[in-house]
């Protein structure tokens, strides 16, 4: 599948360039401009959604999310000759509705905390799906209560380090299904904070410990080690690191088998990037899956091994492009000869990625999609923080207070990293499909902000 070539934009409507792969689209797949010159997603007018649900507002396109799930599974069926499973890296956005949609498409879950684990369990329960073989519990510092919750529901523990492995080994009365996370030492060009495959990482066992690790596990029959896991990072556009990883993991599998471990599964992680700007050109979902599948297949052929069950863990590329965030523009400020600021009613509390990772986004004015782009402005958030800047060089029409600004590709790590900084309530989220909008996360209220607050009685006592 060939990546869509995106043209230079002259108006907001030009962002709606068709694409075959969800991760290559700036907007959700159902986005269009309606007769009112308003942005429409999932058959719902974005301006009307803001009038109904308020702003900031996350707008999740159900069709785009389902299509991404299907594209991953179709690609595995097409390119991989063995068993396979797609696991949603739910740290990208974990809530009941998102988990429910992903599970209904046949995907499993990668969870990294007790809260994510509990949410996934509850979503599966609503659908009548057993967590066993559908939830994989990651993390470099899992607590004992978290581990026990996972074991209680027959989830697979992705063991990250010796301390965790020794803790599990001490529970000899339990039959525990595990996979081992190894650090591959493979570098890729992405932000320092989201490179997880290089050796200097907090994640995974050092590959120099393989012999001791495999020997330790093989001597403990209650530890049912079924597979190996590795992950090289996030928002990756390169192909070579994944090819290197495939060869490396098959060699690890061969070594594990020599110790008598029944390694039948290789989990190569995720990391496929998405298009945040018109310059971004990530591989398509099909291209990425084909590359990984061929890498595992050729390595197994070389070493004379049967094809393992291949697991992949997409997160951002499943949900990132499926969502936009709608804001209402408020104040503006022009610094002569330097820049013009426009301020929106959200910012770093609903999207901390620009200030954390220097992430770049694109935006449009949802209530005037075809208006010519006549200004370059800086989109600022409303927080008391000079660094609360969502977009530094946004090309927009001349804006006025009350305009609806939409930021694209905000499905991954926006709500999941949202905070109450400056005591701002977190936004609402809706899911849209065929003209219907359903609230999936209600907007927090000021009362919600006080739910966990306590006021000691002694503070009422007079000195």
What residue segments make up the domains of the chain, in order of their start? 12-61+320-445, 80-314
Give the Cα separation of 130 and 447 in Å (integer).
Answer: 36
Share of the chain above pLDDT 90, in %: 85
**CB of 156 within 8 A of CB of 133?**
yes
Share of the chain above pLDDT 70, in %: 92
Share the mean pLDDT of the chain: 92
pLDDT tens sequence across 412-431: 999 999 999 999 999 999 99
Supply the Cα-derived Rg of the chain in whole angstroms: 23
The mean pLDDT value for 173-192 works out to 76
**Which pLDDT belongs to residue 241?**
79
Torsion of CA 279, 284, 285, 291, to 10 degrees: -120
CATH architecture of the domain formed by 12-61+320-445: Beta Barrel (2.40)
**Which pLDDT belongs to residue 5?**
29
Closest CA to 194 of 97, 113, 315, 96: 315
pLDDT tens sequence across 254-282: 999 999 999 999 999 998 999 999 999 99
pLDDT above 90: residue 231: no
Greatest C-alpha distance within the chain:
81
Which class in CATH covers the domain with range 80-314? alpha beta
- Structure tokens that stand for 201 in this block: 């990482």
pLDDT bracket for residue 244 (50, 70, 90): confident
pLDDT above 80: residue 15: no
- Structure tokens that stand for 141 in this block: 């510092």
**Which pLDDT belongs to residue 187?**
58
The mean pLDDT value for 61-73 works out to 97
**Which pLDDT belongs to residue 6?**
31
The mean pLDDT value for 305-330 works out to 97
Give the Cα separation of 327 and 322 in Å (integer).
Answer: 17
Enumerate the active-site residues.
384
What sections of 279-363 are H helices per DSSP?
A: 285-303, 316-319, 353-357
**CB of 399 within 8 A of CB of 390?**
no
pLDDT above 70: residue 286: yes
Q: Which of 162-176, 187-201, 273-287, 362-376 has the lowest mean pLDDT?
A: 187-201
Give the Cα separation of 230 and 169 in Å (integer).
Answer: 22
DSSP 195-250: --SSSSSSSSB-GGGHHHHHHHHHT-TTEEEEEEE----SSB--SHHHHHHHHHHH
Strand spans (E) along 306-399: 309-312, 323-335, 339-344, 363-365, 375-380, 389-396
pLDDT above 70: residue 198: no
**Which pLDDT belongs to residue 202?**
81
Name beta bridge partners: 430: 59, 439
**Which pLDDT belongs to residue 173?**
87
Q: Rounded to 5 degrees, what are φ and ψ at 206?
A: -70, 130
**242-261 b/e (C-beta count within 10 Å ≥ 16 → b):** bbbbbbbbbbbbebbeebeb
DSSP tag of 425: P
Give the Cα separation of 201 and 348 in Å (integer).
Answer: 27
The mean pLDDT value for 370-374 works out to 95
Give the Cα separation of 230 and 246 in Å (integer).
Answer: 10
The mean pLDDT value for 348-357 works out to 96
pLDDT above 50: residue 451: yes
């Amino acid at each position: 599948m060939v990546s869509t070539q995106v043209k230079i934009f002259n108006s907001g409507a030009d962002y709606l360039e068709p694409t075959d792969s969800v991760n290559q689209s700036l907007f959700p797949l159902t986005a269009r401009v309606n007769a009112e010159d308003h942005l429409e997603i999932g058959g719902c007018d974005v301006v009307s959604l803001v009038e109904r649900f308020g702003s900031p507002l996350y707008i999740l396109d159900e069709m785009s999310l389902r299509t991404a799930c299907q594209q991953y599974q179709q690609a595995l069926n097409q390119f991989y000759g063995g068993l396979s499973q797609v696991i949603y890296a739910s740290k990208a956005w974990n809530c009941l509705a998102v988990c429910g949609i992903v599970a209904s498409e046949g995907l499993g879950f990668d969870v990294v905390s007790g809260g994510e684990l509990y949410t996934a369990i509850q979503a599966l329960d609503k659908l009548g799906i057993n967590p066993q073989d559908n939830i994989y519990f990651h993390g470099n510092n899992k607590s004992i209560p978290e581990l026990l919750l996972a074991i209680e529901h027959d989830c697979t523990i992705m063991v990250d380090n010796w301390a965790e492995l020794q803790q599990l080994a001490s529970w000899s009365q339990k039959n525990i299904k595990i996979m081992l996370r190894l650090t591959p030492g493979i570098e890729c060009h992405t932000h320092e904070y989201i490179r997880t495959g290089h050796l200097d990482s907090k994640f995974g066992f050092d590959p120099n410990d393989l012999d001791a690790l495999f020997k330790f596990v093989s001597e403990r029959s209650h530890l049912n080690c079924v597979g190996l896991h590795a992950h090289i990072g996030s928002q990756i556009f390169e192909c070579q690191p994944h090819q290197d990883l495939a060869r490396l993991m098959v060699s690890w599998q061969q070594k594990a088998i020599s110790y008598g471990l029944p390694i039948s599964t290789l989990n190569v992680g995720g990391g496929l990037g998405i298009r945040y700007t018109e310059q971004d050109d990530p591989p398509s979902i099909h291209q990425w899956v084909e590359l990984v599948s061929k890498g595992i297949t050729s390595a197994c052929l070389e070493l004379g091994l049967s094809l393992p069950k291949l697991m992949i863990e997409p997160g951002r590329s499943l949900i990132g492009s499926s969502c936009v965030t709608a804001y209402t523009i408020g104040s503006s400020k022009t610094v002569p000869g330097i820049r013009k600021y426009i301020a929106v009613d959200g910012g770093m509390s609903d999207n901390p990625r620009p200030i954390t990772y220097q992430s770049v986004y694109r935006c449009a004015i949802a209530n005037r999609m075809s208006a010519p782009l006549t200004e370059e402005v800086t989109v600022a958030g409303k927080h008391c923080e000079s660094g609360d800047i969502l977009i530094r060089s946004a090309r927009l029409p001349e804006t006025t207070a009350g305009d609806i600004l939409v930021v694209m590709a905000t499905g991954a790590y926006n709500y999941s990293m949202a905070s109450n900084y400056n005591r701002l309530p977190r936004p609402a989220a809706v899911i849209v499909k065929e003209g219907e909008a359903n609230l999936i996360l209600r907007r927090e209220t000021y009362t919600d902000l006080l739910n966990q607050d306590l006021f000691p009685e002694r503070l009422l006592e007079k000195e």
